[in-house]
Amino acid sequence: MTEILQENGLLHLRNGSISYIMAVMPGGALAHLYFGPRLSAIHPDGVLRAAGSGDTGNFRLQECGLDRLPQEYPVQGLGDQREGALTAEYPGKGWAADLRFSGAEALDAKPGLDGLPATFGSDGKTLRITLADALTGLRAELLYTVFDDSPAVIRSVRIVNGGDAPMLLTDAQSLCLDLPDSRWDLITLSGAWARERAVYRRPLVPGHQGVSTLCGASSLQQSPFLALARKETTEDAGEALGAALIYSGNFAARASVYQNDSTRLSLGVNPRDFIWRLAPGEAFQTPEAVLVYSEEGLGGMSRAFHRLWESHLLPPRWVNAHRPVLLNSWEAAYFDFDEEKLVSIAECAAKAGVELFVMDDGWFGRRDDDSTSLGDWGADRKKLPGGLRRLGDRIRALGLQFGIWMEPEMVSPQSDLYRAHPDWAIHVPGREPITARHQLTLDMSRPDVQEFVFRAVSDTLTESGAAYLKWDMNRNFSNVGSAYLPPDRQRELPHRYILGLYAVMDRLVRAFPEVLIEGCASGGGRFDPGMLYYVPQFWCSDDTDALQRCRIQWGTSLFLPPSAMGSHVSAVPNHQTGRTAPLESRFAVALGGCFGYELDPRKLTEEEQIALRRQIAYARDTEKTRARGGLYRLLSPYEGNDTAWITVSPDQTEAVFTLVRALGRVNTPPPLVRLRGLDGEKRYRVLETNEVYGGDELMRSGLLCPLRPGDAQSVLYTLKAEEE
Ligand code: DGJ
């Protein structure tokens, strides 16, 4: 059970596993004392002296005393020389608010956040702390939530202009965490199209380090996440601290090492390209940020994130629901299809046991390539003479669900929509439009654009009867400007865009609660916790090559759950890498996420089609364990030739184990892989070999994994606990 203890100026949130402790200092500064395993109590003097002050009195009255105080929501410019979490300009009153404690209250229920995705849950406790600046009237309302079942603290801030003059907010981070030392490695996830979320780990050094984006999305290149791990921290053991932002736009995630080797973490909306006007009485709500603490290494941190999202963020309708095994038409047909071809692909897919057929890009306007028609969301009657309804009905008549692709936030210059509403595209008037993939981005800050997008999607869903929508987004911002926002609010556009997107998504999921929505952004270009509030799965990457996917899925799983990672078996040679991996390996890797196909089943041999039937039956049988189980990463593709992971059901009676070897090795014994997460007291039968081993043996000695000769070979084992 979570509790909030408030005594002697200390504010202590704790549940069964963690404590988060703050102190109200004489003079009103809010100090950070501790985040880590649950404590019964703390002596503030120790922490504060270690921070560099011989005196634990009023830091504010000491010369630059705030520079040595670990703080919750610091502001630079009033003694603290480090970079703070908040900057706002006040006419004639500078840009540093002197934030002092003005009250704290425990809330009965966790509030939602205005216009933003946020964690929810009836368990746990929330504390609201108000800091206020007497000179300007600025207030910062800090929210802290701890749920009963999670080693996490969820934070957000509401900045209120309580003064009588307008303010310009230029930086409002969601969280700041001052840590007493810098003996950490920083882990971030970075990449590019078709190689998203690669893991980078390096020691912290004095100065700033981190990741950020300015492209209008969380992006292919970076993720709104960072972790700190001790040098000795491994997948299974040691301290790890993860931070993630529930947000899909421009963000900044930073770890800064200052004098005395203290570390300041910050996470929030990127302050570059951000200026927000706050009239008297107005408020700005930051996105939510989540801090997770683990003593069970990076694996423990990831599992804590996965469980937190699944219990407190993902749409509850879909968390435990069966996700249909889908076949997507993109790599099967690209733009080259008509109704008959789609139906014939779907027929073949249905025979193999596929449950959902998805028609990807190319069905609307005159879209024979990517140069036209985004925004003109009427079916192309040359390709689909009977329209969406007839195609949907024919697919459903095969016993399949029907799904459809859209890219609702975009417009092609070659479209009726653009000709009618050139001002709806993001642009700076007077400058040449800058296209990417021949398209422009609609200005989602505009209410008329939001209405258009909502109507376009809801009409398409209604007409087609689709049970699934793939919501794609294939370009980032350039020439950033809005014909709708006034000149002094142009820097609000990036954040207002995301608020507009969230408003439309929110309306859609309410209007179509039974439609399964999969997010996509040139693959995983906006795969973040913000989107997961609306869509329970996201296309992880356009790279479907089994070996590349080992790296991408490994990195993604650091903070996002396998149940949300769209992951498909595709044809060989692989369309991205040209590599030919065996069908079993492509299957084993795709099972590591939300499973489906991305190929033309008609082109498979009879033997392969039979294999597909077996695969789909297996995927369905093991879905609960793979989606709801705990993920243990075993062998890292970043460290060697083999990748291995195991997913263990919550009751430890079933597990799915996968090993993938990139390059075949001649004349080497088979690997013995130590498993994790099993019950050491139980005995497990490996269904594929019919051998029985003790859980302790599998975890301490290992499981032998004979591999066939050749590259990209794999082993997929199902472990079932024997009845006692
Ligand atoms: C990018 C996506 O990632 C692909 O899966 C596909 O839907 C294309 N867009 C279609 O244009």
Q: Which of 178, 528, 542, 545 is catalytic?
A: 542
- Please give the distance, rounded to the nearest whole angstrom, from the Cα atom of residue 550 to the centre of ligand 1: 20
* Domain CATH code at residue 68: 2.70.98.60
**Cβ–Cβ under 8 Å, residues 226 and 268:** no
- Please give the distance, rounded to the nearest whole angstrom, from the Cα atom of residue 253 to the centre of ligand 1: 28
- Please give the distance, rounded to the nearest whole angstrom, from the Cα atom of residue 406 to the centre of ligand 1: 10
Distance CA 444, CA 496 (A): 7
493 — alpha (psi -120 to 50), left (phi > 0) or beta?
A: alpha
* Nearest alpha carbon to residue 82 among 153, 161, 182: 182
Residues with Cβ within 8 Å of 125's Cβ and at least 6 positions away in sequence, in order, are 2, 3, 4, 13, 106, 107, 145, 146
Residues 65 and 177 in one domain: yes
- From the CB of 331, is ligand 1 less than 6 Å away? no
Which DSSP string corresponds to 367-411? -SSTTS-TT--SB-TTT-TTHHHHHHHHHHHTT-EEEEEE-TTEE
Surface-to-core class of residue 340, CB atoms within 10 Å of its CB (0-12 exposed, 13-18 middle, 19+ buried): exposed
- From the CB of 474, is ligand 1 less than 6 Å away? yes
Question: What proportion of the chain, given as a percentage, has pLDDT over 70?
Answer: 98
Residue 690 has pLDDT above 80, yes or no: yes
> 67-71, 397-401, 712-716: which range is least confident on average?
67-71
Report pLDDT digits (tens) over 512-534.
Answer: 999 999 999 999 999 999 999 99
Specify the 3-state DSSP secondary structure of 627: helix
- Please give the distance, rounded to the nearest whole angstrom, from the Cα atom of residue 308 to the centre of ligand 1: 29
Distance CA 507, CA 597 (A): 30
Residues 253 and 212 in one domain: yes
Residue 423 has pLDDT above 70, yes or no: yes
Surface-to-core class of residue 326, CB atoms within 10 Å of its CB (0-12 exposed, 13-18 middle, 19+ buried): buried
Residues with Cβ within 8 Å of 118's Cβ and at least 6 positions away in sequence, in order, are 110, 112, 156, 246, 288, 533
- Please give the distance, rounded to the nearest whole angstrom, from the Cα atom of residue 332 to the centre of ligand 1: 12
Q: Is residue 306, in this structure, part of any structural domain at all?
A: yes
Q: Backbone phi, then psi, for 132, in 5-degree steps?
A: -140, 150
Query: What is the tally of structural domains in the chain?
Result: 3
* Domain CATH code at residue 403: 3.20.20.70
- From the CB of 518, is ligand 1 less than 6 Å away? no
Residues 196 and 296 in one domain: yes
Closest Cα to atom 2, ligand 1: which residue? 522
- Please give the distance, rounded to the nearest whole angstrom, from the Cα atom of residue 187 to the centre of ligand 1: 29
Domain termination residue (choose one: 313, 346, 369): 313
Q: Is residue 387, in this structure, part of any structural domain at all?
A: yes
Residues 252 and 360 in one domain: no
- From the CB of 539, is ligand 1 less than 6 Å away? yes
Residues in the chain: 724
Mean pLDDT of the chain: 96
- Please give the distance, rounded to the nearest whole angstrom, from the Cα atom of residue 523 to the centre of ligand 1: 7
Given the CA of residue 542, which atom of ligand 1 is nearest to it?
A: 3
Sequence letter at residue 150: S
Report pLDDT digits (tens) over 333-356.
Answer: 999 999 999 999 999 999 999 999
Q: Is residue 548, in this structure, part of any structural domain at all?
A: no
- From the CB of 597, is ligand 1 less than 6 Å away? no
Residues 470 and 370 in one domain: yes
Q: Is residue 573, in this structure, part of any structural domain at all?
A: no
Distance CA 451, CA 444 (A): 10
Structure confidence at residue 62 as a pLDDT band (50, 70, 90): low
Alpha-helical segments (H) within 512-582: 529-532, 546-556
- From the CB of 196, is ligand 1 less than 6 Å away? no
Domain termination residue (choose one: 517, 539, 561): 539
User: How much is the pLDDT for 146?
Assistant: 98
Q: Is residue 322, in this structure, part of any structural domain at all?
A: yes
To test the ligand 1 pocket, which listed residue (406, 542, 543, 598) has its Cβ within 8 A of the most ligand atoms?
542
Q: Backbone phi, then psi, for 105, in 5-degree steps?
A: -140, 140
Residues 294 and 400 in one domain: no
- From the CB of 522, is ligand 1 less than 6 Å away? yes
Residues 155 and 294 in one domain: yes
Report pLDDT digits (tens) over 603-631.
Answer: 999 999 999 999 999 999 999 999 999 99
User: How much is the pLDDT for 47?
Assistant: 85
User: How much is the pLDDT for 46?
Assistant: 84
Segment (H or E) for 504: helix 493-511
Given the CA of residue 598, which atom of ligand 1 is nearest to it?
A: 5
Closest Cα to atom 1, ligand 1: which residue? 522
> 49-63, 172-186, 298-312, 498-512: which range is least confident on average?
49-63
Residues 185 and 309 in one domain: yes
Residues 274 and 329 in one domain: no
Distance CA 43, CA 21 (A): 11
Distances (CA, A) of 481 to 215, 277, 420, 443, 493: 13, 16, 19, 9, 7
Looking up tokens 């299957």 gives 587
Q: Is residue 670, in this structure, part of any structural domain at all?
A: yes
Question: What proportion of the chain, given as a percentage, has pLDDT over 90?
Answer: 94
- Please give the distance, rounded to the nearest whole angstrom, from the Cα atom of residue 474 to the centre of ligand 1: 8
To test the ligand 1 pocket, which listed residue (360, 363, 439, 476) has its Cβ within 8 A of the most ligand atoms?
360
User: How much is the pLDDT for 558?
Assistant: 98
User: How much is the pLDDT for 138?
Assistant: 98
DSSP single-letter state for residue 129 = E
Q: Which of 67, 361, 472, 600 is catalytic?
A: 472
> 217-221, 258-262, 326-330: which range is least confident on average?
258-262
Residue 648 has pLDDT above 80, yes or no: yes
User: How much is the pLDDT for 415?
Assistant: 98
Specify the 3-state DSSP secondary structure of 203: strand
Closest Cα to atom 10, ligand 1: which residue? 361
- Residue 598, strand partner residues: 570
Distance CA 593, CA 616 (A): 14
Residue 299 has pLDDT above 70, yes or no: yes
- From the CB of 684, is ligand 1 less than 6 Å away? no
Distance CA 22, CA 44 (A): 9
Domain termination residue (choose one: 259, 281, 313): 313
User: How much is the pLDDT for 724?
Assistant: 79
- Is position 273 annotated as part of the catalytic site? no
Residue 707 has pLDDT above 90, yes or no: yes
Residue 55 has pLDDT above 80, yes or no: no
Closest Cα to atom 11, ligand 1: which residue? 361
- Please give the distance, rounded to the nearest whole angstrom, from the Cα atom of residue 228 to the centre of ligand 1: 34
Residues 371 and 282 in one domain: no
- Is position 488 annotated as part of the catalytic site? no
What mean pLDDT comes out for the span 645-671?
97
Q: Is residue 601, in this structure, part of any structural domain at all?
A: no
Q: Is residue 555, in this structure, part of any structural domain at all?
A: no
Report pLDDT digits (tens) over 311-332.
Answer: 999 999 999 999 999 999 999 9
User: How much is the pLDDT for 64?
Assistant: 59
Q: How far is CA 122 from the centre of its chain?
A: 23
- From the CB of 520, is ligand 1 less than 6 Å away? yes
* Domain CATH code at residue 651: 2.60.40.1180
* Nearest alpha carbon to residue 645 among 658, 655, 630: 658
List strand residue ranges (DSSP E) for 610-678, in order.
630-635, 642-648, 654-661, 672-673
Beta pairing class for 440-441 and 537-539: unpaired
DSSP single-letter state for residue 425 = B
**Cβ–Cβ under 8 Å, residues 298 and 235:** yes
To test the ligand 1 pocket, which listed residue (193, 327, 329, 330) has its Cβ within 8 A of the most ligand atoms?
330
Distance CA 51, CA 32 (A): 11
Residue 53 has pLDDT above 70, yes or no: no
- From the CB of 330, is ligand 1 less than 6 Å away? yes
The tally of CA atoms less than 13 A away on the side-chain side of residue 689 is 14
Which DSSP string corresponds to 213-237? --SSSS-SSB-SEEEEEETT--SSS
- From the CB of 598, is ligand 1 less than 6 Å away? no
Surface-to-core class of residue 711, CB atoms within 10 Å of its CB (0-12 exposed, 13-18 middle, 19+ buried): middle
What is the CB neighbour count within 10 angstroms for residue 63? Answer: 6
Q: What residues make up the domain containing 383?
A: 317-539
The tally of CA atoms less than 13 A away on the side-chain side of residue 623 is 17
Specify the 3-state DSSP secondary structure of 48: helix
Distances (CA, A) of 542 to 195, 418, 516, 599, 618: 8, 28, 20, 13, 24
Residues 236 and 346 in one domain: no
Structure confidence at residue 60 as a pLDDT band (50, 70, 90): low
Residues 328 and 289 in one domain: no
Distance CA 225, CA 244 (A): 4
- From the CB of 570, is ligand 1 less than 6 Å away? no
Q: What is the 3-state secondary structure (H, E, C) of 130-177?
A: EEECCCCCEEEEEEEEECCCCCEEEEEEEEEECCCCCEEEEEEEEEEE
566 — alpha (psi -120 to 50), left (phi > 0) or beta?
A: beta
Peptide bond into 573 cis (omega under 30): yes
What mean pLDDT comes out for the span 483-492?
97
**Cβ–Cβ under 8 Å, residues 553 and 191:** no
